[in-house]
Chains A and B, each alone.
Chain A
């Protein structure tokens, strides 16, 4: 099973809402990633978790709050977002963290902030 699943597929939220994105993998991977992708642009790394510990935070605003409750799950909690945060949010996982690691991507959550 080489699948990374993400829920929901689509999310529309107001600027005062609180919502969460969920990512799951059952490949035994110990590194998990959140990326943000705007239309017609490449993905941009937001966070990396390695062995359930936050390893990289690419200076992401605090209105995005990641959580890794166990080795299979990765959440992204959203609060007080801005319209410019509308994007495709991609989750990825790899066996371990490192430059040789093959990252498997999920299908993404399409987020619209109104």
Chain B
């Protein structure tokens, strides 16, 4: 069955430090991968997506992610974190031929220390 795993429930980083959020997926075919961010009490905002092509994708707010098929991973990175990046981050995979249904990971809560 398709699944998405985010191994880190909660991460704390200092402002200005680099960030990497991990995401592993289980999917038999080429995955359609997404990273979303959710601020407290808000909806989800798409940061970036990967369908095919260049395995390093750039997103909004200075985020990037790298698709590694050999490791079944799609980790999210940011070189320098800002206090406003504190939020919940969800990795998701869209299942082919199931009408855009997204399978989400459990989420990683990011806290930023001043």
Residues of A whose CB lies within 8 Å of any CB of B are 4, 6, 31, 33, 40-43, 45, 48, 50, 55-56, 88, 90, 92, 94, 97-108, 110
Establish whether residues A100 and B107, one from each chain, have CB atoms under 8 Å apart when the complex forms.
no
Contact string against A for B residues 76-109, beta-carbon threshold 8 Å, 1 for contact and 0 otherwise: 0000000000000010101111111110111100
Q: Tell me how many residue pairs across A and B have CB atoms closer than 8 Å.
A: 67
B11 CB–A CB distance under 8 Å:
no
Residues of B whose CB lies within 8 Å of any CB of A are 32, 36, 41-46, 49, 51, 90, 92, 94-102, 104-107
Q: Can you show 15 pairs from A to B with CB atoms below 8 A apart?
A: A6-B43, A31-B100, A33-B100, A43-B44, A43-B90, A48-B99, A92-B43, A99-B32, A99-B96, A103-B100, A104-B46, A105-B36, A105-B43, A107-B41, A108-B43
Establish whether residues B106 and A45, one from each chain, have CB atoms under 8 Å apart when the complex forms.
no
| Chain A residues in 8 Å Cβ range of B45 | 105
Establish whether residues B43 and A99, one from each chain, have CB atoms under 8 Å apart when the complex forms.
no
**Interchain CA distance A88-B44 in the complex, whole Å:** 12
Please name the 7 residue pairs, one residue from A and one from B, whose CB atoms are nearest each other, closest first: A42-B104, A105-B43, A99-B94, A105-B44, A99-B32, A107-B43, A97-B100
Establish whether residues B99 and A56, one from each chain, have CB atoms under 8 Å apart when the complex forms.
yes
Establish whether residues A48 and B100, one from each chain, have CB atoms under 8 Å apart when the complex forms.
yes
CB A52 to nearest CB in B, in angstroms, measures: 15
Establish whether residues A56 and B101, one from each chain, have CB atoms under 8 Å apart when the complex forms.
yes
Closest to A4 in B: B43
**Interchain CA distance A107-B39 in the complex, whole Å:** 10
| Chain A residues in 8 Å Cβ range of B51 | 100
CB B52 to nearest CB in A, in angstroms, measures: 10
**Interchain CA distance A43-B98 in the complex, whole Å:** 17
Establish whether residues B101 and A110, one from each chain, have CB atoms under 8 Å apart when the complex forms.
no
Establish whether residues A42 and B90, one from each chain, have CB atoms under 8 Å apart when the complex forms.
yes
**Interchain CA distance A110-B43 in the complex, whole Å:** 11
**Interchain CA distance A68-B105 in the complex, whole Å:** 29
Establish whether residues A42 and B105, one from each chain, have CB atoms under 8 Å apart when the complex forms.
yes
CB B113 to nearest CB in A, in angstroms, measures: 21
